[in-house]
């Protein structure tokens, strides 16, 4: 994985003062890119740029309100003035809004979120694309930070979902516009990611998000940042028009009940009382032990296919005394 192709590239990262934007700016800087960090908070923005410089990179901070056209236009102009060119932009700045049904939003809510999450990204793409063309960049790129909400709608998130669907749509359409000119346009769609947006959320709330994810955990900002680095590199020049989820399979589909016939592969252990019934019934020795205590069980096709169940969990349901259940489990453990 050679990222030397990004060295010297000039890039703008909006919303660079925290979370995913900060991680992207710092990782870009670590790999030799010249980074213009843009955000509203001057104190935090200066700190991120300073951190990049202190670690041997090149970076500046440009105070920018990404809900204002003139600010974004000035951001692009100041970046070109400072570094002499522009090769790419990461449109990361955005806000969240949700947790209520659609009819409870106000007109003002609509204007606020669309100004930043939709119009702000459009303006960033527009002026960055013009600057990339004028710079004669040989590896131009635009990366928009969308969300899994841009792939799959979420309850209580009507306006946020609408903006993120729009980001994905603009990304794909612009990719078609610029593909002939070797400018890639992609969207990163983070799932539940641990950033400052969660503030002082209690552990119970974070656990809820983790459990809702098939991967069983929340993501971290660096996992999105390294994808952004790859998309900015020469290794990803044939990837354009993609909306790539970074979400632990959250958007891959609906979770259903599923169990392994042979969970012992995860530990390297042999069959034992902790193995599923289906797995035990495929083995002559364990099947004989079960039939000893539960005569005729192996002939019951429906029972032996019990999804993910073990004899330790269901043996008491057969009315066997506890001592008998223990003897059966012990024999299975000592096969």
Alpha helices in the chain (DSSP H): 19-30, 42-54, 69-83, 107-114, 120-134, 158-178, 203-212, 221-232, 277-280, 284-293, 301-304, 311-314, 322-333
Specify the residue for token string 């951001």: 75
3-state secondary structure of 58: strand
> Where in the sequence numbering do the catalytic residues fall?
160
Specify the residue for token string 């994810």: 213
The rounded distance, in Å, linking the Cα atoms of 242 and 143 is: 10
Do the beta carbons of residue 67 and residue 116 sit within 8 Å? yes
Do the beta carbons of residue 222 and residue 28 sit within 8 Å? no
Nearest to 121 by CA among 185, 62, 180: 185
Neighbours of 300 (CB within 10 A): 12
Distances 53 to 11, 123, 133, 307 between C-alpha atoms, Å: 15, 28, 28, 56
Do the beta carbons of residue 304 and residue 297 sit within 8 Å? yes
* First-last CA distance in the chain: 47
Distances 89 to 97, 137, 185, 205, 277 between C-alpha atoms, Å: 24, 12, 10, 33, 55
Q: How many CA atoms lie within 13 A of 213 on its CB side?
A: 20
Strand partners for 61: 37
Instruction: With residue 136 as reference, give the H or E element that holds it.
Output: none
Structure tokens at 260: 């392994």
The rounded distance, in Å, linking the Cα atoms of 134 and 124 is: 15
Residue 42 neighbours by CB under 8 Å, 6+ apart: 61, 63
């Amino acid at each position: 994985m050679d990222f030397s192709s990004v060295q010297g590239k000039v890039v703008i990262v909006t919303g660079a003062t925290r979370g995913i934007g900060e991680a992207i700016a710092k990782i870009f800087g670590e790999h030799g890119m010249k980074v213009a960090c843009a955000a509203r908070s001057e104190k935090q923005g200066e700190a991120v740029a300073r951190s990049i410089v202190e670690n041997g990179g090149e970076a500046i901070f440009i105070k920018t309100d990404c809900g204002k056209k003139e600010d974004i236009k000035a951001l692009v102009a100041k970046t070109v003035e400072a570094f002499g060119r522009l090769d790419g932009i990461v449109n990361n700045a955005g806000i969240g809004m949700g947790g209520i049904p659609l009819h409870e939003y106000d007109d003002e809510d609509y204007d606020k979120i669309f100004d930043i999450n939709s119009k702000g990204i459009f303006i960033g793409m527009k002026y960055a694309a013009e600057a990339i063309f004028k710079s004669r960049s040989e590896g131009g790129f635009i990366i928009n930070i969308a969300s899994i909400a841009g792939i799959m709608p979420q309850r209580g998130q009507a306006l946020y979902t609408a903006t993120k669907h729009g980001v994905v749509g603009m990304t794909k359409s612009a990719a078609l516009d610029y593909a002939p000119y070797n400018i890639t346009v992609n969207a990163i769609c983070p799932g539940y990611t641990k950033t400052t947006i969660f503030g002082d959320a209690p552990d119970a709330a974070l656990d809820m998000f983790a459990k809702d994810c098939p991967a069983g955990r929340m993501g971290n900002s660096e996992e999105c940042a390294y994808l952004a680095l790859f998309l900015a590199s020469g290794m990803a020049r044939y990837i354009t028009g993609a909306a790539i989820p970074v979400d632990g399979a959250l958007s891959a589909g609906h979770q259903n009940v599923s169990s392994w016939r042979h969970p012992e592969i995860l530990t390297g252990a042999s069959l034992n009382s902790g193995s599923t019934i289906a797995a035990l019934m495929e083995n002559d020795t364990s099947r004989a032990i079960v039939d000893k205590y539960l005569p005729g069980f192996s002939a019951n096709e429906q029972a032996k296919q019990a999804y993910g169940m073990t004899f330790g969990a269901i043996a008491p349901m057969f009315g066997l005394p506890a001592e008998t259940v223990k003897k059966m489990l012990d024999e299975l453990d000592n096969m």
